[in-house]
Structure 1
Amino acid sequence: MGRHLAVLLEDIPHIRLLYTGEATHTRGERLDLTLVSSDLAADAIWQVHPTLTSNHFATLTSLPVAPPVPPRPPPRWNIRRADWSRFQASLDEWWADYQPPDDLHQQERDLTAAIQTAATTAMPMCAPSRRHQTDWWYYNDEVREHNHRVNLHRKLYKKRPNPSNLRLLQEVVARARQVPLRAKEDKWLEWCATFSQHTSLGQMWRSVRTASGAAPPRPAAQPHPQQEAERLATTFTSRGSSDQLPLHTRRTQQQLQPHRDEAIREAMEVADMTDRPFSLQELQQAKRRGRDTATGADGVPYSMLAHAGPAGDTALEKCQDLGLKISAEKTRAMMIKAADPAWQLRVQGIDLAWTNSYQYIGVWVDKRLSFTTHATYLRERTQARLNVMRAMTQPTAGATFSVLRLYYVQAVRSLVDYSALVLLALSPNQQERLEVVQNTAMRTML
């Protein structure tokens, strides 16, 4: 069913089907389809989730979208270089042929359009400014309204400098200073609410730099770089093709081609010291040696599993029929509290590599079950996020206590809570090292 739908949907313009051929159902069927627009399909990544599954496998679609770029202010006319004679002549020409309608609002719109047209004709445009406002990331209507009130009362006090207007100006300025602080805090809380254990450090640091007054991201020089690169590559290929060469040059190349092929064949037939095959003694020396160890209390050694043959393949097929999908590419072999054996395990015809530690569902499991690797991994991740938290306390960032507390709960504490089951198996020394992380966060907040 999925194949028939895919064939029909591929003919629809401006829509792309993300599909790699993997089965999305436990019975090997392809029922789940993902559609995106053609603009997003260039960098989209579609894959089957390795762990989340029921009778349908979960699919993960990644769309790398750049953060929104704030729009540039509209261009302004350069009044200092205006040609007022030409400006008036343009308005006079418009007024001579203009028939005013009965609608007053329409007259206003017509007059505004005529003035803008005359200004464009008689005045050059100013170059776009490279200056940026440091409050662009939290600026809203409330901040703009209070800034407007401050400007009005400053003009009033400048015209009438008396004690009453001075007190009024001071009150307005005091209220206006509180509004940006609340807007900053609301924006920080909005950002921190989206943070989790899966949020990348790059996104967190971008938020800190934005709050510290960094310039907003500029629009891309090319909105579709991949399509433009493919177009340029196609143009370069067509221009650099041999078909562009003169006729006599192409004939010369065709005449020399047999001689060049013959020279390559002769070079391949020349004997070399490295052409000798491996000897049996060299293979025995390269083979890893070790004692055969058992998998557990059942007493079945790994050599039996390695030589299971068709019976082992039948067991794997039965697992797949039951919906237990085995990914041989991601599977690793690990000996728990024992040395690695000399035998090689094989799943679906693929040799499994022996490893000392492996990350499974976000937890590092080691062969000694001490979880030392996971404790080190957890401490490094939390410390990196605490560095972001420390940068948020700078005066330019403006993060309050409530913002820092929410950030700690969303971005730092979530990592520790996810590893709660592993924390029970840690040694006292490792638990004390993790406790330092929490104490550091408390000192940063206070």
Structure 2
Amino acid sequence: MPILVMKFGGTSVATLDRIRRAAKRIGREVANGYDVIVIVSAMSGETNRLVGLVDETSPLYDAREYDAVVSSGENVTAGLMALTLQEMDIPARSWQGWQVPLKTTSAHSAARIVDIPNDNINSKFAEGMKVAVVAGFQGISDEGRISTLGRGGSDTTAVAFAAAFGAERCDIYTDVDGVYTTDPRITDKARKLKKIAFEEMLELASLGAKVLQTRSVELAMRYKVKLRVLSSFEEYDPTAGTLICAEEDIVESRVVSGVAASREEAKMTLLQVKDTPGIAAAIFGPLAEAGINVDMIVQNISEKGHTDMTFSCPTAQVKRAEKALNEAKANGGIAFAELVADTNVAKVSVVGIGMRSQSGVAAKMFKVLSDEGINIKVIATSEIKISVLIDRKYMELAVQALHDAFELEKAG
């Protein structure tokens, strides 16, 4: 039988009624002739509750025990889903990560998948099982401990299973009905895209779009997994949602496909850094060791042997970044006059594979922001993306203006 992977996020399994609704969708695919691997998240709000319990119990917690606690939410959902399917006379059973086994590294709370042997599940399919309900977000480390893949890790679990089992497609069911040109909460002109290229989705996911975890898109692109995002709350429609696919599967590439925005950004500047060979490595080495996700980097022109170095990172990581840099300074690794953190900024980006063959996108973007009186603090570009840091209070205005300027309301 062909295999289909279906992933249901927390809002899609938040109650028993929603689990039953999801189970009916699964049953329809079984009736269509598929063996189905279902990846489930914890019920909505459950992971936050478990994380809160850990924080309250042990603020400086052991990451291995953290994983043991927070992974339990997915186990509950998997069991309930399997029971619901059995009540519908569909042969199903639940699988925890260690039972598959989904093998990972030992980087607890941020583990990476090493291997997914398919012998166990395939043998059960051969015996007549029609649905394997797998707890997402979790696996077993090379030390034999329960591990988790980081928040949003169930998306990555689903894509990894689709790749490992050669699935026909991986459907991600969530509370939105697809990928939009921008956040519909910012502008009602946002439009759902029928198709989007892997590279564009990867950029949008990394730039603040919350539809998919970045790592899941990376995996899908690497293994050419057809990925579809659709709502679990709408009536069944085989053409619904947004298909994330290879660039060659899109007939005509748009110059700009979407505008992404992230308000949880900070701009950090090291003033009067001694400009010597290796200074960038001396700065960003300690940041990497501290697990800081550095994005945009700008170095000013050197003057009298000194320069300023600016970078962006998530606001939640500012304190850790300050600690890492100040410790590096105290240890003599780097010398700087002052470290300034600006936590009132936002990142706004335009993304599109059409930028490769179309000039003038940057000029148009900067002109639009200028016309709205929005000052640009930092600029970063790639082949299919242009990102700027601006004052956070202008984020919604910038998104709306750029969405209008690139006529994304005509996208589809």
Which of these two proteins has the greater Rg computed from alpha carbons?
1
Is TM-score (shorter-chain normalized) higher than 0.5?
no
In terms of fraction of residues, the more strand-rich structure is: 2
> TM-score scaled by structure 1?
0.20
> TM-score scaled by structure 2?
0.21
In terms of fraction of residues, the more helix-rich structure is: 1
